[in-house]
Amino acid sequence: MDVKQLQYFVVSVDMGSFHSAAEVLITTQPNVSKIVKSLEEELNMTLLNRTRSGVTITPQGESIYTYAIEVLKNINIINEFKKGQDVDTLSISSVPSNTLSFYLSQFYNSQSKKDVRLDFFETNVQNIIRRVHARKSELGFVYISKRSMSAFRQQVKSKGLEYHELTKVPLYLFVGKNNPLYKKEAVEETDLKDIKLIQYHEKQFSLYNHLGHIKEDIIYNGDSVSISYTNSDSFLTQSIKNTEYGSIASSFVKNQYQEYGIRAIPILSCEKSISFGYIKRKKDGLSDLGESLISYLTNLNEF
């Protein structure tokens, strides 16, 4: 039994006739029929019923078809892996960040060796931890508030990971023209207790949790505080632009809202208060491409 036999059988089932299968496989109808017949003889099974209008699969053929699909799928994966041996791949997970996305594209352009690939996945902090732990990503970029840092470090450590800070960034309130704070040059935390907020979906490590004081949480206790959550960047953007909702985020998303007429208003007392950095597996060294990226980011003025 060989891959060709399985391929001709699967295509014949999918196309419903040897004639149509031959067109797809760029061969002749007799050749397709001959190869499928050889598979049936080798297995001592009738896999296809031949009719004047084409072929139909038998019950035995149904079982073999399922296994044949898996074999062909795995062969494709192996072939793709072979092709990718000469390509340096860096898999990255990150919280949403227009700034980081921009610098990743610049990093790619800076590589003299162009057969590199950056796999980039945006999600929340919890999923980033899971992805790096499960080896789906080599690096995970996050921003963490001061109040969440202790719990974050404990969780990272429990997964065999470690966190490296690259910089500290300020916290902003992002609002559109329908928000009552739109014309403010800066806001106090107390200004936020009576507005509606929409936040990117983060449970434990939301930047909103950075606000307020341990003993006197005026932000949390405000009766009129209304917070909605979403995992959609486009819905969040449109909500800020077209409704009274505002959003609290770091400066790393500052540039992505400008074209929508959304203002980034600094929150006083929150300057340089959010830690931005990356997590990696503690026992694993970084790949050459991973080391190059971290070196590139570290040498930027913004970092």
Q: How confident is the model at residue 218 (pLDDT cuts 50, 70, 90)?
A: very low
* DSSP string for residues in 161-205: EEEEEEEEE-EEEEE-TTSTTTT-S-B-GGGGTTSEEEEES-STT
| Local confidence band at 111 (pLDDT 50, 70, 90 cut-offs) | confident
Q: Which of 126-130, 232-236, 243-247, 267-271 has the lowest mean pLDDT?
A: 267-271
Which candidate, 177, 170, 200, places its Cα nearest to that of 263? 177
Kind and range of the H or E run holding 297: helix 288-298
Alpha-carbon radius of gyration of the chain:
28
pTM listed for this prediction:
0.63
CA distances from 171 to 134, 168, 188, 211, 236 (A): 31, 10, 11, 10, 17
Say which CATH class 171-271 falls into: alpha beta
- pLDDT confidence of residue 84: 52
For the domain made up of 3-84, give the CATH fold. Answer: Arc Repressor Mutant, subunit A (1.10.10)
pLDDT tens digits, one per residue of 76-102 = 777 766 555 567 889 999 988 878 888
Return the minimum-mean-pLDDT range out of 52-56, 82-86, 151-155, 157-161: 82-86
Contact 297, 303 (CB under 8 A): yes
Average pLDDT value for residue range 63-71: 91
| Cβ–Cβ under 8 Å, residues 260 and 182 | no
Q: For residue range 261-282, list pLDDT tens digits in order.
A: 999 999 887 777 788 999 999 9
The residue that leads in pLDDT, 110 or 113, is 110
Confidence of residue 15 (pLDDT cuts 50, 70, 90): very high
Locate the DSSP E strands across 28-153: 48-51, 54-57, 88-94, 116-122, 139-145
227 to 83, 127, 222, 240: CA distances (angstroms): 48, 21, 12, 13
* Type of residue numbered 293: L
pLDDT at residue 102 in the model: 86
> Which of the two residues, 7 and 269, has the higher pLDDT score?
7
pLDDT of 196 over the 70 cut: yes
Question: Domain extents for the chain?
Answer: 3-84, 87-168+275-298, 171-271
pLDDT at 179 over 80: yes
| Domain 87-168+275-298 CATH (choose: 3.40.1390.20, 3.30.70.360, 3.40.190.10, 1.10.3720.10) | 3.40.190.10
Q: pLDDT at position 82, please?
A: 58
The predicted pLDDT at position 77 comes to 72
Which pLDDT score is estimated for 216? 37
87-168+275-298 and 171-271 agree in CATH topology: yes
